[in-house]
Amino acid sequence: MMARHERKHAELALRLGGISLLALAALVGRHLFAAADPRGKHEAICYLLALIGMASACAGAALAVLGRHLFDQVDLPSRWTIHDLRRRQD
C-alpha cells in the first residue's frame, strides 16, 4: 500500500503547506516588530509569538524546499549505526 506522502498530489500539498507556514512566520514576525513594548507588559505573549514564528519558519522552510522528499529514507554510514555485539562474537 502506498504511503500517504507518496500520493499524487502530496508534493503540491506539502509545498503549499510549507509556504503557508512561512507566511504565518512572516505575519508573526511583523506583529512582533510592530508591538515593541519598552515597559515589558506583553513579555509572555511576545515569547509565545516568537516561539510560534520560529517553529513555523523552520517547518515551513523544510516543507517548501523538500516537499515529499522530506520523508525519503537515508542510508547511514556504518560508524553511525548500532552494531549487535552478539553477532560479532559468533
The angle at the Cα of 20, spanning 14 to 22, to the nearest 5 degrees, equals 105
49 located within any domain: yes
User: Would 84 be classed as within a structural domain?
Assistant: no
Structural domain contains residue 64:
yes
- Domain hosting 51: range is 9-71
| Any domain includes 63 | yes
Domain presence at residue 41: yes
pLDDT at residue 73, rounded to an integer: 87
Contact 13, 63 (CB under 8 A): no
Q: Domain for residue 78, yes or no? A: no
To which residue does cell 523538500 refer?
A: 66
Whole-angstrom CA distances from 87 to 33, 38, 90 are 58, 64, 6
One digit per residue, pLDDT tens: the chain, 90 residues?
567 666 778 889 999 999 999 999 999 999 988 877 667 677 788 889 999 999 999 999 999 999 888 888 888 888 888 876 665 554
Does residue 40 lie in a domain region?
yes
| pLDDT of 28 | 94
Number of structural domains (the chain) is 1
pLDDT recorded at residue 24: 97
Query: Does 65 fall in a domain?
Result: yes
Give the gyration radius of the chain's Cα atoms. 21
